[in-house]
Amino acid sequence: MNVKKFTAPTSREALRKVRESLGPDAVILSNRQSDGIVEILALANDDAASLAMPAPHSPMAEPAPSLDLGAAAIVSHRVEPRFEDELPHMSPPVAAKPVSMQPQSQPQPQRRVVASHSSLASKVAAAVPAPAAQPKAAPSIDASQIAAMVSAAVASAKESAAVEMSGMMNEIRAMRGMMETQLAELSWGATQAREPQKTAVLREMLAAGFSASLARYLIEKLPAGRDAADSLRWIKTVLTRNLQTMANEDALIDQGGVFALVGPTGVGKTTSTAKLAARCVMRHGPDKLALITTDAYRIGAHEQLRIYGKILGVMVHSVKDEADLRIALKELKNKHTVLIDTVGVSQRDQMVTEQVSMLQGAGANVKRLLCLNATATQETLSEVVRAYQGSGLAGCIMTKLDEAAAIGNALDVVIRHKLNLFYVSNGQRVPEDLHLADPAYLIDRAFKLKRDIVNTQYQDAELPLLMSGDMGGFGAAREVHLG
C-alpha cells in the first residue's frame, strides 16, 4: 500500500496534484488545512481495491454463518469520504482457523478475527469514495459556467435590442417632425394667402417680442371675420387677461411677512429690496421693518444695502448660511416685514438649488420674489424661471424696463409660466422707480415699442417656416387659458 501526501495553498491545487500523480480514480483518505496549507492523504485505486477485496481462499473471505454480527458485518455499500478522518495504522491480518472446526462453546477467537476484519473493511470502505462522487463536481462547475454564459448572452441581446429600438424611435420622431414641419408650412402658406389679417397680427406679435409658439396658439384661436385692427385688439385683450398681476400692494405691504428677492447676478435685487423697504417704512415706520443680506461674495454688496438701511433708519443683518438665517429670523419674528437680499447666482449654477433649500428650511414662511431682467432673451428668462421655481414662487418683479428695447419677451415668459407679476422697475431712484404692474399698460407698451420694424423683421416667405417649427417648446397651448 502506497499512501501519498499532497500539500498546496488551495484545495483545488491539491486535488490537481492528486489527479496528476494517482489518476482520476484516486481515493482521498483525509483532507485537512493547517497554517494556510491544505494537506491531502491519497491512495491509488488499485491499492484501495486490494484492501477492500481480500484473497478468495483466505480466512477473512469466508463467511461466519453461525454468528449474528449485526451492524458489525462487512459494509456492502460505500460511504461518502470524511476528510477529517486519518488513515488508521494498518497491521498484517491474523490468520484464523476455519469456523466450522470451532465448537459452539468457543466462539470468541473467531469473533475477534471477524470483528477485526469487519472493522478494517468498514474503515477502508469509508475512506473509498462512491464512484459517482468524483464526476459530480465537474458537471456542477460546467453548469454554473454555462448559466453565466447564457446570462451574459441574454444581457447582450437585450442591450443590442434596446440600442436598436432607441435608434428606430429617434428616426420615427425625426420623420414625424419633418412631416409636421412640411404640413405646417403648407398650412401657414395657405393661411397667409387666404387670411392676410392673421399674417399682420403675427408680424405684430413677433416684432413685440412674443414667442412664435404663443403667437401661433392665439392666431389659431382668432375669431373669423375680423380685420387686422380688430384682430390685434382681440389679441391684446386675451394677453391682458392672462397676465396675472397684483391688484393692489396692500396684500404685500399691509399683510407683511418674510420676503426674499432672488435672481441672477446684476438683475437689480438690491435696488429692488431698497425700493420695497422704502415703501414699507413710509407705510409702517422703520421699527416694523428688518433687512437681511446673504450676499457676502460681491465686494461692497453688503455696504450698499447698509447705506440704504442707514438712510431709512433700518438695521441690516448679515447671514452666511441656513443656521444664521434661522437664528436671525427667530430674533426678528416681532417685525412686521422682513426683506432678504440674496446673493446673485447664475441659473445654471448648482448653488441655486442650495439657495432655494436654505430659504425653504429657514424655519419661517419665506416668500420668494423672482427678479426678471426685461433686457434678457426669452430662452434665458425661461431658464431662470425653471431654475428658481423650486416649490413655487410667490411672485416676480420685472426690472430694467427702461433699458429694454422690447418687453414682449419678458411678458411672454410671465404668461406662459403663470407667474404673478407684482412690480415693474424702470430706473435707479428709490423709491420712485418702482410701480405696481398694470396689465393693460404693459401689453399696449409691448406692441408700441417695435412698431417701426413690424414689416421689415421677417419676409413673407419666412413666416411659414418660422411658424411651422416648435419655436417655443414650452406648451403654450396648455399654459394660456382664454377668459
Residue range 116-130: mean pLDDT, rounded: 44
Average pLDDT of the chain is: 75
Residue 274 and residue 430 in contact, taking contact as beta carbons nearer than 8 Å? yes
Query: The domain spanning residue 284 has which CATH number?
Result: 3.40.50.300
**Confidence at residue 460, expressed as pLDDT on a 0 to 100 scale:** 59
- Give a yes or no: residue 32 inside a domain: yes
With 70 as the cut, is the pLDDT of residue 284 above it?
A: yes
Residue with cell 403663470: 418
- Give a yes or no: residue 306 inside a domain: yes
Residue 394 CB neighbour total at 10 angstroms: 17
- Give a yes or no: residue 239 inside a domain: no
What does the alpha-carbon distance between residue 112 and residue 96 come to, in Å, rounded to a whole number? 10
Domain of 63, in residue numbers? 3-131
With 60 as the cut, is the pLDDT of residue 137 above it?
A: no
- Give a yes or no: residue 207 inside a domain: no
Centroid of chain to Cα 320: 30
Residue 377 CB neighbour total at 10 angstroms: 13
Domain end marker among 101, 116, 131: 131
**Confidence at residue 459, expressed as pLDDT on a 0 to 100 scale:** 57
Report the DSSP beta bridge partners of residue 43.
3, 27
Considering the domain architecture, whether residues 126 and 250 belong to the same structural domain is answered as no
* pTM of the entire predicted model: 0.57
Q: For 416-430, how does the pLDDT look when each residue is reduced to its tens digit (9 = 90+)?
A: 999 999 999 988 888
Alpha carbon distance, N-terminus to C-terminus of the chain: 106
Domain end marker among 97, 131, 165: 131
DSSP string for 412-464: HHHHHTT--EEEEE-SS-TTTTEEE--HHHHHHHHHHHTGGGTTTSS-TTHHH
Q: Is 219 helix (H, G, I), strand (E, B) or coil?
A: helix
Residue range 296-320: mean pLDDT, rounded: 78
pLDDT band at 71 (very low <50, low <70, confident <90, very high): very low
pLDDT band at 299 (very low <50, low <70, confident <90, very high): low
- Give a yes or no: residue 453 inside a domain: no
Length of the chain as a residue count: 483
Domain end marker among 131, 152, 187: 131
- Give a yes or no: residue 464 inside a domain: no
Question: Given the DSSP bridges, would you call strands 3-8 and 337-341 parallel, antiparallel or unpaired?
Answer: unpaired
Residue range 122-134: mean pLDDT, rounded: 46
Q: For 238-281, how does the pLDDT look when each residue is reduced to its tens digit (9 = 90+)?
A: 999 999 998 887 778 888 889 999 999 888 888 899 999 999 99
Which residues, including other chains, have CB under 8 Å from residue 292's CB and lie 6 or more apart?
316, 317, 318, 319, 325, 328, 329, 332, 338, 339, 340, 341
- Give a yes or no: residue 417 inside a domain: yes
- Give a yes or no: residue 234 inside a domain: no
Tally of domains in the chain: 2
- The amino acid present at 341, given as its one-letter code, is D
363 to 87, 334, 360, 366: CA distances (angstroms): 78, 15, 7, 9
What does the alpha-carbon distance between residue 93 and residue 77 come to, in Å, rounded to a whole number? 22
With 90 as the cut, is the pLDDT of residue 399 above it?
A: yes
Centroid of chain to Cα 387: 17
DSSP string for 259-319: EEEE-STTSSHHHHHHHHHHHHHHHH-GGGEEEEE---SSTTHHHHHHHHHHHHT--EEE-
With 90 as the cut, is the pLDDT of residue 153 above it?
A: no
Report the DSSP beta bridge partners of residue 398.
372, 424
With 70 as the cut, is the pLDDT of residue 464 above it?
A: no
Give the percent of the chain with pLDDT over 90.
14
With 90 as the cut, is the pLDDT of residue 195 above it?
A: no
pLDDT band at 355 (very low <50, low <70, confident <90, very high): confident
